[in-house]
Chain A
């Protein structure tokens, strides 16, 4: 106890002194207040804080406060160098990336950051012996070499256009090699991640809280302003709201959506509706044998016209979503606006009649408790479909793992004609969204649960995957988006936002557009 108090005090002193000096970086920190504890309440207890095993943004956003990677995304989703010092040089065949590294950076345990450390970080991710490691697309890496102390050479197995964007994922984060044998860590499993980030882990009580202490030697131009950040685990959304209203928390994530209007009115609180990359949709079984009419694109388009998405956004999501005008969110590289399916039940009815689909029956499925208001949205969709004469069985629901087991099946075992699902790419590139529109990802090979297949689209995606010219890539994705929009394998519902609420006593709270909050450089107001 007394030692950590001493450390906190020392951090405070150093922070005050550093502030006074204005720092060595370009951003001035004069006028920014320091000290104290920031309490943040989140909804899920992170399963692991090991960067290599990250699967959820809830856990990764905490890891991001302690461990950094070569490239990161900024608040707008653009890729920026973090531990790299600049964009990499790419060989003409697209197979070799030469990454220049930042110099003079130290890990929080004092050991130096260099190419050897970076290499070890990536090797660890790719090593199948690492516990629960999920390299995902990064398994395209063939080898990593430290050509010298400040240069890293990464060789790929095949050309992968969005490689740098893929490096912004938390799983590529770089740990201090020396820390792999300390504090209960092993090379295969890390419990206490030690990185170059502005915070270090001080304490963790499973299921209750994670306490982080400021890294007084953080290299960045922006500095951590709070001495401690206390991350409380509060799975119940009204409990989080109760906490911030009773003063038990300064920042909360995802309050009950129905309270957002009231919270916005509260003069002591600020609501930040952060952009997210998650699209929510009703996915049709485009090869359904139980309802073959769904194989016709006109029928699927008609059902898109039948649903009043604006009303759903307003009344079921309480304004916490943005309408879709493309099969992906605006935050992705490769997005372009392709159209709308305005609410028009009359048109829907006539289109259905023309296709001989009036009064058809659809089996609808939805998870409960996986996405905000999921079952409510599905119920609302069922009601709109009902209004244009469709008989809807369901929405049948179950808990998430059961539901996932029901929809993530090959076409022959499909349980539903239509099901509700969300999709949030791991990094902000259209290629990730198009995982949902390519037939080589039909389960069990992937999660294309619409079983959609259009050779034009597949062709465009494959070209874009290796396309080095960024503008050409964008155009290819744009064309593919237009085709997908027309084929309507989904009812394109909305792109949900990520609400963060904080008190007027805090400033500098921001977010990344992939559902991660950012309080690293927050400060007292």
Chain B
């Protein structure tokens, strides 16, 4: 078990390094002059050059790269060219907002999703199953931002129930969380249903039922535990969908999270922030998946010995 853990963690390191390099190069490919973008249209050439020098854009590429990696190793993500604040501070002030939405969405999607999936599986073929399955496919197919816009029209403008934008209002998190949860909910529900179906089709379950055990006990003792494995994998995977959805949801609801920070930084050529946010999100994704894998290996011994 320990070697498995060590192996997985070790593999993660070059991956993170690879991600950092890829994003560094990608961001440098961005067309447009970053110094001019920062200085603005009305700035004189002298001011633009001074800013170029102040931020080190005039250095050769490999120098910039080495500086970047060295700083990264000490946890220094650089300075935002837009605000002048350290990138770490920019990200950390916004991270709680994204985490708030992500956490609530995950809770909704896991609790509701597993429940719905189980119900659908145990009543396979019934109208209820069809409805849940249909809703799941709908949820997977709906563009997140469209749903958000529709919710704003209905709940903010027509019903005045929730705020249309911003995080100051205490109820501000409701609509964005629901919007974000939709895709994950559908994903988890489907996976739970399919995993549960597979388990219910197993011989030992049929045996238990044949022996007269009530469905509920069968579910609790056998089905749930065995079905949980693929569901856990999906929870890890849906984290990725969550991040992508967060970018769009935060834009629609003017929510001050890291998703919006990323989009804004791309538009203002704030290299350091783009690098920092993407790296952080990728690392988060790697860690979540690592944890899920480890959990998987802990629960299912077959994997450990492979």
Hey, which bits of chain A sit against chain B, CB under 8 A? 41, 45, 47-48, 50, 53, 55-56, 128, 131-132, 134-137, 139, 189, 191, 205-209, 230, 232-236, 239-240, 242-243, 245-248, 398-406, 408, 425-426, 444-447
Contact = CB atoms under 8 A, between A and B. Distances in A.
B45 A446 contact: yes
Contact of B252 (A41, A191, A209, A236): A236
A55 B37 contact: no
B75 interface: no
Interface in B185-224: none
Contact of B165 (A230, A236, A402): A236
B15 interface: no
B36 to A, nearest CB: 6
Contact of B169 (A47, A248, A401, A425): A248
A401 B39 contact: no
Contacts of B233: none
Given A136-B47, A208-B167, 15 more contacts: A41-B165, A45-B264, A55-B43, A132-B54, A139-B46, A205-B167, A206-B256, A232-B166, A233-B254, A235-B260, A239-B152, A243-B163, A404-B36, A408-B36, A446-B45
B51 A206 contact: no
Contacts of A208: 97, 166-168, 256
B156 interface: yes
Contacts of A402: 30-32
10 contacts: A48-B84, A56-B40, A232-B166, A233-B254, A233-B256, A234-B166, A234-B254, A404-B33, A406-B31, A446-B44
B93 A134 contact: no
A400 B267 contact: yes
B84 A131 contact: yes
Contacts of B47: 134-136
B165 A248 contact: yes
Main DSSP-derived SS at the A contact region: loop
B83 to A, nearest CB: 5
B160 A247 contact: yes
Contacts of B168: 208-209, 230, 232
A205 B93 contact: yes
Contact of A235 (B82, B160, B164, B254): B254
Nearest to A244: B164
B169 A242 contact: no
Candidate in B37, B40, B42, B93 with the most chain A CB atoms within 10 angstroms? B42
Contacts of A234: 165-166, 254
A404 B256 contact: no
A426 B47 CA distance: 15
Interface of B: 30-34, 36-47, 50-51, 54, 82-85, 90, 93-94, 97, 152, 156-157, 160, 163-169, 251-254, 256, 260-261, 264, 267-269
B45 A246 contact: no
Given A206-B93, A405-B32, A48 B43 contact: no
Contact of A404 (B32, B44, B152, B260): B32
A209 B167 CA distance: 9
10 A-B pairs closest in CB distance: A207-B256, A55-B40, A401-B32, A242-B164, A405-B32, A208-B256, A239-B165, A401-B37, A402-B31, A47-B82
Given A136-B42, A205-B256, A243 B269 contact: no
A242 B269 CA distance: 29
Nearest to A248: B163
A307 B239 CA distance: 51
Contacts of A401: 30-34, 37, 267-269
A408 B41 CA distance: 9
Contact of B163 (A131, A207, A246): A246
Contacts of B169: 248
Contacts of A189: 84
A206 B42 contact: no
Contacts of A205: 93, 167, 256
Candidate in B34, B47, B164 with the most chain A CB atoms within 10 angstroms? B164
Nearest to A53: B84
Contacts of A446: 44-45
B45 A445 contact: yes
A48 B50 contact: no
B256 A405 contact: no
A405 B261 CA distance: 22
A55 B44 CA distance: 12
Nearest to A55: B40
B31 A134 contact: no
A243 B44 CA distance: 38
A400 B160 CA distance: 35
Contacts of A232: 165-166, 168
